Amino acid sequence: MSDEIEFLMHQHQQQTEFQRKQRQVRDRENVVLERQTTTKHTTIPNMTDAMKQVRSVSPDYPEEYKDFIRRTSGRPV
């Protein structure tokens, strides 16, 4: 009878140890996965000054390009 109890206790210990190791592996994998899939947010740059600069500069296109735009789009250049 004592041998059966010892065997059952040994089996239970092995099962508990196996489950503990599985949990550790799963936890490590989850940490790695979380680190890889976490979005790193950055601040959005203020483009107001850049937009003002773009709008203030009037582009001077070559005549060939202006003619091409007039013929293909009908848009005045």
* Tens-binned pLDDT, residue by residue, of the chain (77 aa): 688 999 999 999 999 999 999 999 999 999 999 988 888 778 888 899 888 888 887 778 888 888 888 888 876 65
Domain interval for residue 23? 2-39+47-72
pLDDT value at position 76?
67
Going from the C-alpha of 55 to that of each of 15, 16, 30, 50, 75, the distances in angstroms are: 71, 70, 49, 9, 19
77 within a domain of the structure (yes/no)? no
31 within a domain of the structure (yes/no)? yes
The number of folded domains in the chain is: 1
Going from the C-alpha of 53 to that of each of 20, 32, 46, 57, the distances in angstroms are: 62, 44, 13, 6
25 within a domain of the structure (yes/no)? yes
14 within a domain of the structure (yes/no)? yes
